[in-house]
A and B are shown apart, each in its own frame.
Chain A
């Protein structure tokens, strides 16, 4: 089966633009934080959503006592346009163990996602949402992503670890795709934080259901290594 990048981005998976969020347990102290970032591409779960164009993102997060809520906004998705995501979650820890559960809702301000293969009839808030569960120990964690609205038939898993300023993630897309389409894909991301602002990431698709040279399979992903440089700037509140 072949999954074209467009169908990954739009059909099912794409809208699942995600992330896990881990919150270490903390006392009931309210905190507001924000940051902005630029990168040479929008790398989403091993896939370049912008076809090489740069992207800008920003987040605003309110947290208190392990609970949090926020907004994540980004450009760079060539297919769906500017994106803004709402999220809420709660995290805690017990010794070196930690957990986090969050709910993300994905929205696109430009082209919208209705009628683009996400099982969504209109572009109202909440039509495309995903739950993320993360369990971790020390510097290692496992995350599970599943749609609770829209984009049914798609799940995503990650296994991450880190040492100091280095981080590695293995991600696996599990897609209920029609015959002849790409129905799973595995990628590996390696990241290095040069300092508090500048980070480098190399990402490669290491396995997929479609053979990259099989033109009969739709949704095949480019297997070239993708290099991303990003500059993030925490903003004092």
Chain B
């Protein structure tokens, strides 16, 4: 296979330079066989494939959460149920607060449980710009869902209050507060620009064959507050009173339960856009009309302005054409 570092609209010279600079990745094509999966490393985030073949049930994994990917294929053949997955990582679970075991000293209030830590934030799904010249496309799912937020830790339990003696029984320690759930990661933004090769025969049904899943990750669940420590019980002690030599010494109250943490915020859904590759169409059109060479030779300021106006008009025409095609296909 051959991975070419992607350069925005690379010219031939640029492509050659890139090929020269990444000799390890100089295979001509990326081919994932049916049912198999392949992981693209972080070093391959900006790549141009001469040929991309993803057979039925193949999966392409994008490593690293929240990264930006620019992948381009000069010729792409994509089978049925093919997936490109770049989900965000799940946030770490918050650590539980430490409970205080045992019982406090006589007459002393129990020590409070430690508060828990908050859940980690879910990582964003990958943002992907996919530029494909399609020879075949059956069905493709791009899943760049945001990672779920980590759940908050549980608060530690409070210590039992110290026994009554000459003093009343002590109250139990308060429970530690639960940790907040981590926020869910945002869904990745996905832009797919496609060009239909003449042999594809796909027509305008491409958008129906590409499914983008880029919801935000759910917020992490809140951690529960720790239980308050048990209060020391009341009991009789030997002590002079007006009623004899027994004195009832009251017990202590149960410690307060720690507050529950807050649920994490859900991640925001990413944006999805599937469009014809207008830039490429313009390039092709201009090349067919041989406009560029003629203008480049006699480029005056006026001619340059005319060229830009012409280019803008063409873009507008192509946008409308593209919208019309989509309307017809729907």
Contact = CB atoms under 8 A, between A and B. Distances in A.
A160 B248 CA distance: 14
B241 A160 contact: no
Interface in B105-139: 105-108
Interface centre among A18, A21, A68, by most chain B C-beta atoms within 10 angstroms, is: A21
Contact of B244 (A37, A43, A57, A165): A43
B166 interface: yes
B208 interface: no
B238 to A, nearest CB: 4
Given A72-B240, A193-B234, A199 B248 contact: yes
A158 B245 contact: yes
Interface of A is mostly: strand
A207 interface: no
B291 interface: no
Contact of A234 (B241, B244, B246, B250): B250
Interface string A43-67: 1111000000001010101010000
A165 to B, nearest CB: 7
A191 B166 contact: no
A167 B235 CA distance: 10
A165 B248 CA distance: 8
A61 B249 CA distance: 13
A23 B165 contact: yes
A26 B246 contact: no
A230 B237 CA distance: 16
A228 B245 contact: no
A100 interface: yes
Contact of A134 (B108, B234, B238): B238
A22 to B, nearest CB: 4
B151 interface: no
B163 to A, nearest CB: 6
B246 A169 contact: yes
Interface stretch (A3-11, A27-35, A115-123, A172-180): A27-35
A41 B241 CA distance: 11
A146 interface: no
Contacts of B251: 196
B295 interface: no
B57 to A, nearest CB: 69
B244 A74 contact: no
A108 to B, nearest CB: 15
Contact of B245 (A162, A169, A230): A169
A141 B167 contact: no
B248 A193 contact: yes
A24 B239 CA distance: 13
A43 B243 contact: yes
B240 A18 contact: yes
B242 A37 contact: yes
Contact of A143 (B168, B238, B247, B249): B238
A39 interface: yes
A90 interface: no
A114 interface: no
Contacts of B246: 160, 162, 167, 169, 189, 191
Contacts of B239: 19-22, 59
B166 A61 contact: yes
Contacts of A18: 240, 245
Nearest to A237: B167
Contacts of A38: 242
Contacts of A31: 106-107, 165-167
A19 B240 contact: yes
27 contacts: A17-B240, A19-B238, A20-B239, A21-B166, A23-B165, A23-B166, A24-B106, A26-B105, A26-B163, A29-B106, A31-B166, A31-B167, A33-B167, A43-B242, A45-B244, A46-B244, A57-B241, A70-B166, A74-B242, A143-B238, A143-B245, A162-B246, A167-B246, A169-B245, A191-B244, A232-B241, A234-B249
Given A39-B241, A100-B238, A201-B243, 18 more contacts: A18-B245, A19-B240, A19-B245, A21-B166, A23-B165, A23-B166, A26-B107, A27-B106, A33-B107, A45-B245, A55-B242, A63-B107, A68-B166, A141-B238, A143-B238, A162-B235, A169-B246, A228-B243
Q: Which 7 A-B pairs have the closest CB atoms?
A: A19-B240, A196-B250, A26-B106, A20-B238, A39-B242, A193-B248, A33-B167
Interface of B: 105-108, 162-163, 165-168, 234-251
Interface of A: 17-24, 26-27, 29, 31, 33, 37-39, 41-46, 55, 57, 59, 61, 63, 68, 70, 72, 74, 76, 85, 100, 104, 134, 141, 143, 158, 160, 162, 165, 167, 169, 171, 189, 191, 193, 196-197, 199, 201, 203, 228, 230, 232, 234
